[in-house]
Structure 1
Amino acid sequence: MDVDMGGMNMGGMNMGGMDMGSSTGMFLATNLHIAKTYWFLIATFVAALGLRRVAVVLAEHLLSRSSHGRTNVRTSRPTGPVSQFVATTTAVLRELSYPQPWHATGKFARNFNPPPLGDCLIIGLYWVVVLCMLWSNVIVSPDSDLYAYKWEIVGYRAAWVSVTQLPFIYLLSCKISPITLICGISAERLNVFHRWAARTIFLTVVVHWSFFFTEWDLAKIVRLEIQYMPMVKYGFGAWAVIGWMILSGCGFFRQQAYEVFVMQHIAAAAVLLWLVWVHVPSYASYNVWMAVAFLGFDWASRMIWAVWINIHIPTRGSKLAAARPIVGYSADAVAVGDDCISLSIRAVDFPWKPGQFICLQVPRLGLGQNHPFSILSVPSRDDESVARLFIKAQSGLTRQLRRRVELHPDHPTRLQVFVSGPWGSPPSLTNHDTIVFVATSTGISFTLPLFRKACSTSTAATRVVHFHWIIRDPSLLQHFQDDLERALLVAASQNLHATVTIHLTRIGYAGHSRIESVDSMGSSSSSDTDSFMDANAPLTRGRIHSEKHDVEVQSQVAGRHGVRISHQIGRPSLDTLLRRPIEKARGETAIIGCGGHAFPSELRNYVSRISDERAVHKGTGAQGIYLHIENYST
């Protein structure tokens, strides 16, 4: 049987997935050029982010040097036309990037919330690039010499656009990659682009096979193609695997069984590479090997680092070496509150920065469970050998850990653990006039170490630091009392105005309508509780434990050099927390937030709205607002 249609020779079965057959010479050079252009654009974008990183570091260093020993200098305030232009441009870009278009709060619907507007703009720009690659010079008119190849030319182009994106998807999934090393962007912040790039390649593959399938259907050779061309089956298999990975990667399914998701996702990624390798011709297989190279570099680097920090060679006379096992680390776990765990990893010998996290494995609770947790403690001379974690028991590893701890409530539970990391790129807060930390629930694990660092770092730029913690369970307060008090004491010694406010959302003081707040400098102010609360938030009247316990806590706090931690009853509005510090700031304000579900979206929208309302750096004198958010939801 010999059917000739537009360059397809079925008699010789000489048609493949990408530029094979008689049309190879027509399409191959152009498609290769487009593939090279794609990676040139990616490299240019990464290089630009790398240069921006260098510029920011140099600017912070120069500002710090210029203000050294000069307490009256506000380094976060523009001082000339160039710095004012940069500040205005930055403010405009922030107002564009911060908002969340919309957000749902339902258990299922919240998994379909779009990314912040800034991420949406980057994804939109990526789509513009992909669409230009896909459709440029492929739509031919009937009088063109290439009209006989009108289906093939689009199918081949879509094949190249799809396979060229493949290494990029794997690159975005790596914890250690050229992007993270050059740009200083942590891998978890690249996850959103990893997911959307995968969805993009899924659609371009649809264009690839649909145009070929249409041509086969017109020629009545669909059955022959599937029967005699094995690469067709492999191609459809690869497309199905991509679809499965996108579906199973939905937040709702990840939350059901995260460990299962990770294992099957890794297996599916390996199968996808094999299917693509057998589907594409040899001259396009370099894309598969690029993906393998990115993964190999990432996994090899992580394995070497994991071995380095988890295998300990005993050293004679070292107290740390005597306190830890040769393999892994020893950790003490205790129950905190109704559903939390405090885990202290003893005698650690790896460095970390406040705000970073580690991935934890507990072999006794099952293999293959590797969960990220923020490091609560701050490395210092006093506690540099202990890494503390504050964990909320939800499901999987955390729930198993809580159950094991509850078996021995009278003493800490000793466990052997393995760690990887630390990971993450915490924000630099050395050149902000005012810093406001806002955390909900276990979000304090991220904000507290940064707060302690801000209170202990003496800079001419920072004058004011506020810390807000919004919680439901008042029994958690005692676990963090000492850390918060020490931070306030250090801030007082640094001549820094620092305050700590705890907001209890479900339990209130009976008969207390006014609450006094005393900061680290000894000044006091009082405010009506009702004016601090969100009018729409429900408030349950009651008492924290008992009158006697309340008096003891207040006496304990007031006994330390006049340092007090303010307690507010009810859920505060963001406007109450942030507007006054922003309006009183003499330079740039940094807002650091950590919470789950709707909290990040609400904070993003509020900061964007107040920045636009105050016309930041647009001639009104209002200073910039920097926002950094961590989301602890799965």
Structure 2
Amino acid sequence: MSSMGGMSMGSMSIGNGVPSMFALQQTYWAVVGSVIGVATIVNLINRLLYQNRLRDLSSTPAKPKSVFLRAYATATATFREISYVGFSPVPLGPLTIHFPPLGPILIILANLVTVLVLCFYGLDTSDVWEWENVGYRTGFISICQLPLIFLLAGRRNIIGYLVDMSYARLNWFHRWAARTLWLTSTIHMGFWFHDWGRYDYIAYQLTHDPLTKRGFAAWCILTFIVISSSAPVRKLSYEIFLLQHLVSFVGFIVAIWMHAPAEVKIWVWIPIALAVFDRVVRYAWGAYANIGIFHGKIARFSLFPHYATLTPFPGNVTRVTLNNPGIVWKPGQHILLTCHRIALFQSHPFTIASLPEDGRMDFFIRRRGGGTRGFEAIAKKGRSIEADHDVRCGPMFIEGPYGTHRPLRQFNSVVLFAGGMGATFVVPLLRDIVSAWKSEKGEEYHTPGNRLSATDRIRFIWAVKSRAEMRMFEPQIRTVLTDFNECRRLNPEFNKEIEMSIHVTRDKNSHIAPSPHDDPRHENSQTHIELFDLTTHSQNDSVKTMSPEKEREPDCEEHDCERPTVIQQEEHPNTGNRSISAPEQEHIGSDSGHSAAESTQLLLSNTNTSPTIHFGRPSSHMIIRKSLERAEGESAVIVCGPPGLADDVRLSVVALSDERAVHKGTGAQGIYLHVENFEI
């Protein structure tokens, strides 16, 4: 690369009304700042909207009533419909490529177009005498992108705080911003090489010019970072990736600092300051969260008070429990968990599967590799030695919590999809809404300040491979149903609805493994009772619905049927339960081989309601449609699970949003979609 030293190139203009290179750098950040500013305003409006809905004393608080709110709802629904559009996955041998939705892609393309316009505006690339100008310009535009890349990379993220987006989501933009930087850096280098190539001067510059050697070294390091950050390489060993990424980053910054002239070194110092700020905040918060002296009574036990209880579960899953953690979190958030005894100097992200009011953090960790194998090995080894006791392990170090989404209590209807271990994210969201219902004060419900949730209906769907997996969330589901029945008992005017179903996608005949909660000696169990009575019902068996008082159609549409099963209902006069008969039986899914009328009922002690268990995959389109048809305001759809489930739910939301035509003046309300990825 050519020297940018000597006279101040940044303040020079090539004439013809073309701004200086400093001005073009400022233009880039004016565009970036404007986008962040607009997103920040939207975030503030959403926060005010949440508070407004909780203060609204009408029966439909989630429905916009003013002209401004209706216009805002229409605008956001239109934007969502565009941004949620997805693309069908592409099978590639044993792998399947899943694409991000259109919204993030448009943002990355907008950044790319902005950068390229600034690189070439007013320049004639066909003129050989302009090639040096292109080389200088692209160098200036490349280096000014560095702060954005570091802003998007930090865990204590300034952009994330302003726009209400987690660092895990921003990390995707971080990677693509880095690839854009690599492209402009390659153009920068390419035009200098092209110019020198006319005189066969490339080898001489790389050999004798220190500035060129430093620039080429920076480009080589950046190329390595981009390649090693691709998903296939990154997933080979995430721990090794993190280590080499840190080392590469240091080398890249050093090379860039040595290559850049003094007039643009500010664009190098800013990323360094951002990286230092992120680390200082993280370490300070980590010290507060993990040192016992800051947390009163737990300081008496240990300098590092977090010790975990490990419990093995079926399916190579280990439950890790931290009692009395030193931080507060929100449902759906995750932390980075470190145990040097299991994996030295490694931290792994795990979703918190409990609520703060539980007084503990629960994590369900499936064995995959690395540190997750260590958790399972210690849990099983300890159980084999002391069969009646869980294993204590530690000390544990926590960092976080991280993760954010719009509070679900502001939506009229909430549909929650979980696939397998995705329940660790979804179940706390379910519990949080029901907890708000329970905390609302009966007769004082319609007074200011007593509404804790605008949600009237919840639909929870959990897809698991085997029935044994249901044991993981047995206590949580029991708590939800017990609280729901308690709300109905204490408040005669309670009119909320909740419906839960579990879909077993593979084994119909597997047996439920014993649960630690069935042991009366376990800390969470009071009596030795059989919590799950799993019985396969024939088409004429009685199937209990979630809300016996509510008249509703049975969920035959929830199955992957080619056409709906014709179902008739008869009311049992004494119990209020309905018997469901199916004159026709439809095939469910290609791999289940069971009828749509086949279902299994999950009976929990001391409750009047129960989720139904089906064999086969759920039909997200029909489930969401049924919820939206009854919605009296904005709805939310949340999904956490395998990429296939996320793609299916996203496509369903887009199709139904278009069908409801919220942006065409029909008055139908919008749909908020949040897709939580498995990998952080």
Fold match by TM threshold 0.5: yes
> Which secondary structure does the structure 2 equivalent of 1:364 belong to?
coil
Shift in Å, 1:328? 4.8
Return the alpha-carbon distance in structure 1 between the equivalents of residues 202 and 233 of structure 2. Answer: 36
1:624 is aligned to 2:609 = no
Farther off after superposition, 306-315 or 414-423: 306-315
The answer for the alignment partner of 1:329 in structure 2 is: 306
Return the alpha-carbon distance in structure 1 between the equivalents of residues 140 and 41 of structure 2. Answer: 30
> Which secondary structure does the structure 2 equivalent of 1:533 belong to?
coil
1:101-180 matches, cutoff 5 A:
101-104=87-90, 109-110=95-96, 113-139=98-124, 148=129, 150-180=130-160
Q: Is the 8 A contact 2:295 2:326 kept in 1?
A: no
The answer for the alignment partner of 1:452 in structure 2 is: 431
The answer for the alignment partner of 2:174 in structure 1 is: 194
Shift in Å, 1:525? 6.4
Provide Cα deviations, 1:240-272, integer angstroms capped at 9, x if missing partner. Answer: 111111111111222221111111111111111
Return the alpha-carbon distance in structure 2 between the equivalents of residues 531 and 32 of structure 1. Answer: 59
Shift in Å, 1:479? 2.7
How many residues get paired? 595
The answer for the alignment partner of 1:363 in structure 2 is: 340
Shift in Å, 1:106? 5.2
Closer, same or farther in 2 for the Cα pair 1:109/1:123, shift >3 Å? farther
TM-score (norm 1): 0.88
One-letter amino acid of the counterpart of residue 86, structure 1: Y
One-letter amino acid of the counterpart of residue 315, structure 2: D
The answer for the alignment partner of 1:9 in structure 2 is: none
Return the alpha-carbon distance in structure 1 between the equivalents of residues 38 and 154 of structure 2. Answer: 20
The answer for the alignment partner of 2:640 in structure 1 is: 594
Q: Select 1:537's aligned residue among 574, 577, 589.
A: 589
Q: Is the 8 A contact 2:335 2:399 kept in 1?
A: yes
Q: Is the 8 A contact 1:175 1:187 kept in 2?
A: yes
The answer for the alignment partner of 1:502 in structure 2 is: 502
Shift in Å, 1:174? 0.4
Return the alpha-carbon distance in structure 2 between the equivalents of residues 130 and 444 of structure 1. Answer: 41
Shift in Å, 1:569? 1.3
Shift in Å, 1:622? 2.4
> Which secondary structure does the structure 2 equivalent of 1:83 belong to?
helix
Q: Is the 8 A contact 1:166 1:291 kept in 2?
A: yes
1:543-582 matches, cutoff 5 A:
554=602, 556-557=603-604, 559-582=605-628
Structure 2 segments unaligned to the other structure (5+ residues) = 438-450, 488-493, 510-535, 563-587
Farther off after superposition, 131-140 or 259-268: 131-140
Shift in Å, 1:616? 2.3
> Which secondary structure does the structure 1 equivalent of 2:90 belong to?
coil
One-letter amino acid of the counterpart of residue 55, structure 1: I
Shift in Å, 1:25? 6.3
1:463 is aligned to 2:456 = yes
Q: Is the 8 A contact 1:434 1:465 kept in 2?
A: yes
Shift in Å, 1:424? 0.9
Return the alpha-carbon distance in structure 2 between the equivalents of residues 608 and 623 of structure 1. Answer: 13
Structure 1 segments unaligned to the other structure (5+ residues) = 1-14, 544-549
1:30 is aligned to 2:20 = yes
Q: Select 1:64's aligned residue among 54, 57, 67.
A: 54
Q: Is the 8 A contact 2:310 2:393 kept in 1?
A: yes
Return the alpha-carbon distance in structure 1 between the equivalents of residues 663 and 592 of structure 2. Answer: 42
Shift in Å, 1:24? 7.1
Q: Is the 8 A contact 1:340 1:393 kept in 2?
A: yes
Identity of aligned residues (%): 29
Q: Is the 8 A contact 2:98 2:643 kept in 1?
A: no
One-letter amino acid of the counterpart of residue 36, structure 2: V
Closer, same or farther in 2 for the Cα pair 1:579/1:132, shift >3 Å? same
Shift in Å, 1:587? 1.5
Q: Select 1:294's aligned residue among 270, 274, 281.
A: 274
Farther off after superposition, 432-441 or 530-539: 530-539
Shift in Å, 1:390? 1.1
Return the alpha-carbon distance in structure 1 between the equivalents of residues 125 and 243 of structure 2. Answer: 46
Closer, same or farther in 2 for the Cα pair 1:513/1:396, shift >3 Å? farther
One-letter amino acid of the counterpart of residue 308, structure 2: A
Closer, same or farther in 2 for the Cα pair 1:570/1:50, shift >3 Å? same
Return the alpha-carbon distance in structure 1 between the equivalents of residues 652 and 288 of structure 2. Answer: 44
Q: Is the 8 A contact 1:330 1:345 kept in 2?
A: yes
The answer for the alignment partner of 2:521 in structure 1 is: none
CA RMSD of aligned residues (A): 2.6
1:395 is aligned to 2:441 = no
Return the alpha-carbon distance in structure 2 between the equivalents of residues 218 and 377 of structure 1. Answer: 66
1:473 is aligned to 2:466 = yes
Closer, same or farther in 2 for the Cα pair 1:526/1:79, shift >3 Å? closer
TM-score (norm 2): 0.82
